[in-house]
Structure 1
Amino acid sequence: MNWINLDSEEQLNEIKNKQGNSVIFKHSTRCSISMMAKKRLDMDGDIVPENLSCYYLDLLNYRSISNQIADLFQVHHESPQLLLIQNGECILDQSHGEINLEEVVEMI
């Protein structure tokens, strides 16, 4: 997986205003479930289209950005959490054991 570190409000605005698709993965580095989800995503990373921007949020270090994501895309905060953003709208919200990269790719 080619992760782009999500660490600024400007990046969120770019994702919100982008035409096309982006993925945001909210990860807690202290949570074993989150670590397993990230490992699965990294292992399945070869199925991700090259033009899909995949953002990684370390929510322990950037909790305020996590809160902004919840507000901006109208989703409940969860961790781990994977969001598919299409043309500025969240069209898929997965959490914990529901995180499935194949489903994300199918929706693109």
Structure 2
Amino acid sequence: MSLTELTTLEQWEAVLHQTNERPAVILKHSTTCPVSSNAYNEFMSYLQDTPRTDVDYYLVKVIESRPVSNEIAEAIQIKHESPQVLMIDKQANYWNTSHWSVTKAHMAAVLD
């Protein structure tokens, strides 16, 4: 399963509009945080197994791409947290979790 990094507001806008047709799962990741590093590893472990194929998967590095991270929180009206996994469907928050709740088992239970 491929993971696309979102680095520009234009990329984010395209993803948001595409959620009208196909949901998106986004990991908001801080490259300086140990909790986020753990969440990233859990997310990648989930992707290495057999995740849902009817959604697209994205990564946003919250420090390096702060405008994108902020716009996601504003667009779907959800408090920013990091690490955070969001499932967006029809341009709205469908599901999210953060911090130590970002686990392969939790994602599989909700997303699969």
Which TM-score applies when normalising by structure 1? 0.89
Superposed CA deviations along residues 4-32 of structure 1, whole A, max 9, x for unmatched, are 01111122212221222101100001100
Aligned CA RMSD, in angstroms, stands at: 1.4
Superposed CA deviations along residues 36-88 of structure 1, whole A, max 9, x for unmatched, are 01101111212312332111011110111111011001010100000001121
- 1:13 is paired with a residue of what secondary structure? helix
Match of 1:14 in 2: 14
How far apart, CA to CA, are the structure 1 residues paired with 2:70 and 2:43?
23
How far apart, CA to CA, are the structure 2 residues paired with 1:77 and 1:88?
16
1:93 to 78, 93, 96: 96
- Report if aligned partners of 2:83, 2:98 keep a CA contact under 8 Å in 1: yes
- Report if aligned partners of 1:84, 1:104 keep a CA contact under 8 Å in 2: no
How far apart, CA to CA, are the structure 2 residues paired with 1:5 and 1:63?
13
Query: What is the number of equivalent residue pairs in this alignment?
Result: 106
**Farther off after superposition, 44-53 or 82-91:** 44-53
Counterpart residue identity of residue 23, structure 1: V
Which TM-score applies when normalising by structure 2? 0.86
- 2:81 is paired with a residue of what secondary structure? coil
- Report if aligned partners of 2:83, 2:99 keep a CA contact under 8 Å in 1: yes
Counterpart residue identity of residue 28, structure 1: S
By how many angstroms is 1:101 displaced? 1.6
- 1:38 is paired with a residue of what secondary structure? helix
Task: Show structure 2 runs of 5+ residues with no match.
Answer: none
Counterpart residue identity of residue 13, structure 2: N
Report percent identity of matched pairs: 29
